[in-house]
Amino acid sequence: MPAGSVLVYSGGVFHGGGANISNGDRIGINITYTLGWLRQEENQYLSCPPNIAKTLDPELQALIGYSMGSYALGYYTPPLPPGQGPEVVPPEFALGKLDPKDSQFGSEELRQQVSAQIRGEKQTA
């Protein structure tokens, strides 16, 4: 393909570029559409805050983003001062569906170990 050309192919196509016999690098990009990664353009947490979202059907809550798409897709940090709540939680936390102790990623022991490392404290066995 000449410089500046673009090749678009669907995810159903297998691509075999063949050997690169030029003296330059061959650069490619794969832009993949994955339904589980799809999120709304509008920030639903602002336009439909948790106090309103709590009144909606669970299916609608999930549809507007109050659910995890997959691991690490859709979590958020509650707007709390540092150290006064979980760092990262699923959106269901905002709806009161999860206990703060159960909604953290990782155990309390792990959180304390990481916090100690950040502060430069020695670890005790």
Query: Which of these, 77, 80, 53, lies nearest to 64 by C-alpha position?
Result: 53
pLDDT digits (tens, 9 = 90+) for 23-54: 888 777 766 666 666 666 777 888 899 999 99
Q: Check residue 62 and give its pLDDT.
A: 87
Q: Check residue 72 and give its pLDDT.
A: 66
Q: Is the pLDDT assigned to residue 12 strictly greater than 70?
A: no
Of 16 and 82, which is predicted with more confidence?
A: 82
- In this structure, are residues 91 and 78 in contact, taking their beta carbons and an 8 Å threshold? no
The number of angstroms, rounded, from the C-alpha of 58 to the middle of its chain's C-alpha atoms is: 20
pLDDT digits (tens, 9 = 90+) for 62-121: 888 888 776 667 777 777 787 777 777 888 888 888 766 665 555 677 667 777 777 777
Strand partners, 89: 76
